[in-house]
Amino acid sequence: MDRGLTPRQLFLRAITRPTKLLILSPIVLLLSLLCAFVFGLLFILFTTFPTVFEKQYHFSASVSGLAYLGVGIAMAISLGVYATVSDKLQKALGDSPKPEERLKPIMWVLPTVPIGIFWYGWAAEKQTHWIVPILGTAVFGFGFLWVMMPTQLYLVDAFGPEAAASALAANVILRLLAAAFIPLAWFFFQCPSSSIVTEGG
């Protein structure tokens, strides 16, 4: 805790600093928007699983839960691959690499995010074998971690111990808002207006 600040002042600073970073720091805003968009896509993906695998592929409710293994296993593999690649890159860059070096891996793997989404949607639309859309979610899941991890590490390195927590909090705020509202917007877009009007409305 900083000396000379009352608990109230510390609390207010902890609440307001993430918002200030979102407004005043373009890099925090841009990276947070990127993470929020990808996070929103993940939750849209999750909301479509029951419809796709239960209604289209006729999985039972319990078996349809196994569809999440594709994206989950891919994320676990992606995490291990990224950790190995990141460590090697950091060693190659020397003792004091620039924080921006953390962001370069995003450029390598970011295309897998739209590719995975397109793969999943195309396979489900064409009613291919059930493993094909799951493989699409795996491609998306692999790219998802390669967006999230470099972003978090960059914010920690760039803002240091003084403001890293606030930068991460700003990132989390937009991510969670996207996770809440992007799937909801998708739901209202898909449903006819007559089907969501409450009775007597």
CATH topology for 17-186 is Growth Hormone; Chain: A; (1.20.1250)
Q: How far apart are CA 155 and CA 165, in angstroms?
A: 9
What pLDDT sits at residue 2?
A: 56
Closest CA to 35 of 183, 177, 137: 177
What pLDDT sits at residue 182?
A: 82
| Per-residue pLDDT band at 28 (split at 50, 70, 90) | very high
What pLDDT sits at residue 144?
A: 96
Contact 32, 175 (CB under 8 A): yes
What pLDDT sits at residue 35?
A: 94
What pLDDT sits at residue 180?
A: 85
Contact 56, 124 (CB under 8 A): yes
SS3 1: coil
Mention every residue, 6+ apart, whose C-beta is less than 8 A from residue 38.
113, 144, 147, 148
What pLDDT sits at residue 72?
A: 95
Domain spans of the chain, in order of start: 17-186
Q: What is the mean pLDDT of the chain?
A: 87
**Mean pLDDT across the stretch 150-158?**
93
* Two tokens, residue 37: 């968009």
- What is the DSSP-derived secondary structure letter of residue 198? P
Predicted TM-score (pTM) of the model is 0.84
**Mean pLDDT across the stretch 118-127?**
93
